[in-house]
Amino acid sequence: MQSTYSGPSTPTRPATPTQATRSTATANRANNNNNSPTRKQLKEITEVNRYINYDPEKEPIKAFLRIKPNTDGEMVVDDPYIQVIDQVEVSMTPPENSNAYRTRHRASERYRFTKVFNEDTDQATFYNETTLTLVKDVLQGENALIFAYGVTNSGKTYTVMGKQPQSEHAGLLPRTMNTIFNSIGGNKSEAKIQDNLSITADKVDIDTNYEYGIWVSFNEIYNEQVYDLLSTAITTTAASRQKRTQLQLKYEQKTGNKYVADTTLIKIKSMAEADAIMRLGQQNRQVFSTLMNQTSSRSHSIFTIHVVRCPVDKNDFVIEDPYYASLSKLSIVDLAGSERYRNTNSSGQRLKEAGNINKSLMVLGQCMEILRLNQIKNDMGKNPTMVPFRHSKLTELFKSTFEGEGKAAIIVNVNPHDTGYDENSHVMKFAAVAKDITTWKQTHHKIDLQNVESDAKRLRAGAAQRRYQQQQQEPSDDEDDTNNVLFVNGLIAQLDELREKWMEAETRSTTMESDIREKISREMYSQFKEMQNKCLLALQGENEMMDLQLQKKGYSDEALLDKLQKRQTSILEELTHLRTKFDEFDVTKNNLLDKITKLEQENQKERDRSNYLQQQLDQHSTEKEEEEEDDDDDQSLTKENDDPKAQDAFNTFLSLRKQLRKSIFKKEELCKDADIIMNQVEEFENVTFKLAKETKMGKLLKLIAQEEFEKDPFQIKSRAMRLFKRYAQLPTSYESLSKNTFSNMAEEDTTDIQGLIAENAKLKQRIKILNNGQKRLKNAFEKTKWTMTMIPPPTEDDDISMIDGDDEQENNGNKNSQQSQHVQIVNEDSSLKRQTTDESPSFGDEEDESYESDIAEILGQMKRQKRRRKLRAR
């Protein structure tokens, strides 16, 4: 049966007189005014344009209104606010309880549609007058989109899917599938479907020069996420829903349009299969209850039919070349309820759902509005505004359709018995905007199949068979039916073949892919193996080299070890030798120490003897001097004093002076006799200055007063000072005495002194020799001690002759670090050699110097005593 659908076309319909008049006037005003038009003006311009500037290449979005009948159990609105004026127009009068009544106006509003379907419209009529033409377009290779818009419980799902029994209440989706299979599948298919579904079999003319393949997908947009309703893994519990795989929208490389990536795409072979698929999707669809409607759908469902067409040439060859094949799509969308969430008492998840539903619907409305404005702007030569398609998944997915790639139809469902005026007014306005949008008609270039040369060809089986039968038999009325059956069978066989080919192609591609993968993996594996072998070979070579090197190294190590062991042995021998030497040196050292002790004792004895001799020498010298002085004094006094009394006094006083001098300067300490003599001097009467001077008593007293005594128990020193002062205060009338007493020393005395000096010199020489011996012994002792306790650091002059020639060659550059042990031993040895062989001492000058200083001190003492004597003489 051929469709008789010829639905009303909005562009051809005249506007109502009032609208047309008002719109034209407004448009004229807008044209005369260069300022930007207001929204109202734009709307009016659109109305005018729709009729005046009709473009046959453009296709406006069709908008169908379906008013839901009052079904059982629904609340009945007292005052119906929708009145159907005619087939394309309704008016809505705001009731008193509506917001519109309170805030804006009370006058009724009129809304025009492509077609208005009242409550009595059955499903078949609605389908035939709204969808059938789009199905035809899809089978001819065009894209189409139908979406049902309306508040909850307005009849959207009923319109799209229908309800049981399907024979009467099948929605436009099953009817579409039925039409498609009727159209492309032939009579047999039709009969089968009728038995099962009891849907009136609509059929559209198709281009028989094509073979058709039908594929379907069923998706859901819920909370701005896209899901697959045909996924086998779908579960129905709310918790598991959260884990459903979210699908992504991706760009088609060829067209740049968005599609749902990785969604299940099922090839449908019959209406029965299509029905099963639809029911599966419906079961999986999200349905949540709200306070307003227990069966309210909270998601948008999208059922897409993909029609693939492959051309058939005049020789009944199906050209399976993708270049000639075409794909067209028909999407049927059951939108979620468009009510506003504040009216639903929603909360939590429901509120989020409502927000998202309304967001996508709001974006859909915005897109429609801007598309419409852009059309007007385009007519006025202005730049278009960006359409916010990407603000929601729904608009993003159907962007291409709204932009002109295919036809679109909106089914607006209203339920005036249950839904409030304000909600339905909103829906009406949306539809009013949508219907003003035009999309471009798609032009299909006829493919010239006469000279198609393609490798992807196969003979259409059914057609060949039919042709053969036609040639064999003359046609008759009965035969016509038979031929039809044959034709249908041929078509079915052809489709089966097509399907098989399809499957083959798929299998081939899958096999090829797997083969390629396997080949690549084999190739990679072989390359990997080759690389592995190479690496292994290289490693083996390296390993062998290493082994060789290790062997060589092992050999040289052994040699080195042997050498080291030899060296160790030689070092041990050296060590033993040195230890023996050390023991010997130890004995020598002890002997030397004994010798040193003896020499020191001898030295001390010699020193004592030297001191004794020095004392003797001093005493002798002093006595000589005194005798000399005494002789000299006596001689002078004899010459100068003729008076006997004076002479006596002089002699007595002189005697006292001599006694006093002897007593004081010959003894270490001032003893009793000095005190007695001093008393006599103090008590001596009539002492004159002259007497004190001539007897040199004053001088002696002065010397005594200046001298330092170890002990002075009788205060000789202070008493001498007092006497000296007393004598000094006496009147002076004497002549000075002769001065030099030493120059007249007797010759024999000088001889004695010379003898003593000579003896002293001999003693000195002997002391020096002893000191030298002592010093050498000390030196030897110190060396021995140094060897035992500390080893000095090596010097450049140190002997390293113990290191053999080979070692020197091996150890060039780091001698010091490796030979310290040898150097230490050699040092010790060489030092010991030096100690035993050197005649002249290398140190020990301090001892010499101390000895010399001792001698110098002795001589100094002698000189001092001599000087003192001279002073005394003076």
Ligand X SMILES: Nc1ncnc2c1ncn2[C@@H]1O[C@H](COP(=O)(O)OP(=O)(O)OP(=O)(O)O)[C@@H](O)[C@H]1O
DSSP structure string for 381-396: T-PPPPP-GGGSHHHH
130 appears as a binding residue in the annotation = no
3-state secondary structure of 533: helix
Minimum separation from the CB atom of position 205 to ligand X (A): 29
State both tokens at 637: 């006094």
739 appears as a binding residue in the annotation = no
Closest CA to 179 of 161, 163, 199: 199
Minimum separation from the CB atom of position 173 to ligand X (A): 12
Cβ closer to ligand X: 292 or 380? 292
Minimum separation from the CB atom of position 424 to ligand X (A): 12
Strands 109-112 and 300-311: unpaired
Residue with smallest beta-carbon separation from ligand X: 155
Minimum separation from the CB atom of position 224 to ligand X (A): 18
State both tokens at 678: 């001093």
C-beta of residue 66 within 8 angstroms of C-beta of residue 411: yes
Closest CA to 688 of 727, 645, 657: 727
Cβ closer to ligand X: 417 or 872? 417
State the DSSP H helix or E strand holding residue 169, giving kind and residue range, or none if neither.
helix 166-169
Beta bridge partners of 116: 65
Q: Find where tokens 């160790």 sit.
A: 568
Cβ closer to ligand X: 215 or 288? 288
Minimum separation from the CB atom of position 90 to ligand X (A): 16
Cβ closer to ligand X: 46 or 157? 157
Minimum separation from the CB atom of position 106 to ligand X (A): 28
DSSP 687: -
Beta bridge partners of 302: 219, 333
Omega within 30 of 0 (cis) for the link into 793: no
> C-alpha distances in angstroms, 278 versus 51, 150, 305, 422, 492?
40, 22, 11, 34, 23
Name residues whose C-beta falls within 8 Å of residue 407's C-beta, 6 or more positions apart in sequence: 59, 61, 62, 134, 137, 142, 143, 144, 145, 439
State the DSSP H helix or E strand holding residue 723, giving kind and residue range, or none if neither.
helix 716-728
Closest CA to 297 of 221, 363, 231: 221
Q: Where are the beta strands (DSSP E) in 172-243?
A: 210-222, 225-228
C-beta of residue 183 within 8 angstroms of C-beta of residue 273: no
Minimum separation from the CB atom of position 171 to ligand X (A): 9
Minimum separation from the CB atom of position 145 to ligand X (A): 18
Cβ closer to ligand X: 36 or 125? 125
State the amino acid at position 512 in one-letter form: M
3-state secondary structure of 210: strand
Minimum separation from the CB atom of position 251 to ligand X (A): 31
Minimum separation from the CB atom of position 72 to ligand X (A): 9
Binding site for ligand X (CB under 6 A): 68-69, 71, 150, 152-158, 163, 293, 295-297, 337, 413
Cβ closer to ligand X: 419 or 603? 419
Distance CA 572, CA 577 (A): 8
Minimum separation from the CB atom of position 429 to ligand X (A): 18
HSE (side-chain half, CA atoms, 13 Å) at 224: 13
Minimum separation from the CB atom of position 291 to ligand X (A): 12
Minimum separation from the CB atom of position 168 to ligand X (A): 10
State the amino acid at position 784 in one-letter form: T
Strands 407-414 and 62-67: parallel
Cβ closer to ligand X: 71 or 549? 71
Minimum separation from the CB atom of position 153 to ligand X (A): 5
Report CA dihedral (131, 134, 139, 143) to the nearest 10 degrees. Answer: -130
> 516-553 burial, b for 16+ CB within 10 Å, e for fewer?
eeeeeeeeeeeeeeeeeeeeeeeeeeeeeeeeeeeeee
Cβ closer to ligand X: 299 or 621? 299
Cβ closer to ligand X: 148 or 433? 148
Cβ closer to ligand X: 230 or 411? 411
151 appears as a binding residue in the annotation = yes
DSSP structure string for 271-316: HHHHHHHHHHHHHHS-B---SS-TT-B-SEEEEEEEEEEEEB-TTS
State both tokens at 390: 């990407």
Distance CA 863, CA 296 (A): 144
156 appears as a binding residue in the annotation = yes
DSSP 744: G
DSSP 231: -
> C-alpha distances in angstroms, 158 versus 66, 245, 334, 413?
11, 28, 10, 10
157 appears as a binding residue in the annotation = yes
C-beta of residue 81 within 8 angstroms of C-beta of residue 100: no
Minimum separation from the CB atom of position 362 to ligand X (A): 16
153 appears as a binding residue in the annotation = yes
C-beta of residue 720 within 8 angstroms of C-beta of residue 730: no
* The Cα angle at residue 141 between residues 138 and 143, in degrees rounded to 5: 55
Distance CA 26, CA 15 (A): 15
Distance CA 344, CA 349 (A): 13
Report CA dihedral (825, 830, 836, 841) to the nearest 10 degrees. Answer: -120
Residues contributing to the annotated binding site: 150-157
Residues contributing to the annotated binding site for ATP: 150-157
